[in-house]
Amino acid sequence: MVVMTADALLSRQTITVGGRRLCFAQWGDHDGAPVFALHGTPGGRLNRHPDESVYTSLGARMITYDRPGYGGSDRMPGRSVVDASTDVAELADHLGIGRFAVTGSSGGAPHALAVAARLGERVIRARCNVGIVPFGLDDFDFYAGMEAENVVEFGRAAEGESRLVPLLERQLLEMGERVAADPAKLLGDDVKLDDADRAVLARPDIAALTRETTKDLLAGGVWGWVDDDLAFVNPWGFDVSEIAVPVRVTYGQRDVLVPAAHGAWLGRNIPGAEVIVDRAAGHLSDLNTVAEATRWLVSGNTPK
């Protein structure tokens, strides 16, 4: 077993994809089972479990990367959700990885589904955690139960880039100011988070990680966030019905950022999906749940 050190992992490793720089990091056991973890919105390659030894103990080689426009990755204007499959394939090829698992939470979840849909011959298992549904479905109320700030953000995205950018520039600046004062205030007091989410943000290890990830997010600028939001409200470039690999759909019943109805719809419409609902959880995962999810991604097994 070769365990990768934090110093090596936190450096900006890059490859070139279609003339763009793509920045990535790896965590855990270098000889372990490869898992691509696709970050939320906004986010970046430094989003991971705060205790890297969890990955090592589970035999996981966790691979994260900055989607285009985030952190150290060049922007790809006009990208679609499905474009994540190309980036993951190129990165896997670069690392000499044939088959792998993929997971994504929140804004990373649609991108993980894209990888599962388009790289099915390489994907062993996929996890979609607190993910949104495609925008504009005839039979689904996208905004029902959603926290007001997210409703405004998606609404601006639907109106176009020129309306969205000023909002996200302000939000990113305010986020940086809040985190500098108190990382537990990452999302601000005006966001009506469930108490379960507030408890996760208040953990000292999460607070330290929040400072680190927010610093990197600020350095990278707003464009990755902008392009994620635009991709979500435009055609994703694939249909979830295409997915033919084992998928676990997980969500919290008390989530106000991505209401539980989104997870329920995905569970009904992804062929053969296993659905796990945490009735005590909101949007942010308990760290024990993250460890259990990683075990399933690595081996397909969960504790009895």
Residue 8: pLDDT over 90: no
Q: Alpha-carbon distance 247 to 279, whole Å?
A: 20
Average the pLDDT over 84-103 and give the result.
Answer: 98
How large is the average pLDDT for residues 38-63?
A: 96
- Rounded to whole angstroms, the Cα distance separating 284 from 200 reads 7
Q: Average pLDDT for residues 6-21, to the nearest whole number?
A: 74
Report how far Cα 200 is from the mean position of its chain's Cα atoms. 17
Residues forming beta bridges with residue 102, ordered by sequence position: 36, 126
Quick check: 33 pLDDT over 60?
yes
The per-residue pLDDT of the chain, averaged, comes to 93
Q: Which residue has the tokens 């009904």?
A: 268
Q: How are strands ordered across the β-sheet holding 60-65? A: 13-17, 20-28, 60-65, 33-38, 100-105, 123-129, 247-252, 274-278
Place of tokens 């979609």: 128
Mean pLDDT of 184-202: 89
Domains and CATH numbers, the chain: 6-299 (3.40.50.1820)
pLDDT band at 246; cut points 50, 70, 90: very high
Q: Between the CA of residue 127 and those of 88, 101, 106, 122, 233, what are the distances in Å?
A: 15, 8, 11, 15, 21
* pLDDT reported for residue 192: 85
Average the pLDDT over each of 100-109, 138-147, 189-198 and give the range with the smallest value.
189-198
DSSP string, 172-237: HHHHHHHHHH-GGGTT-TTS---HHHHHHHTSHHHHHHHHHHHHHHHHH-SHHHHHHHHHHHS--S
User: What pLDDT, on a 0 to 100 scale, did the predictor assign at position 7?
Assistant: 41
Q: Poorest-confidence range of 85-94, 208-217, 249-258, 283-292?
A: 283-292
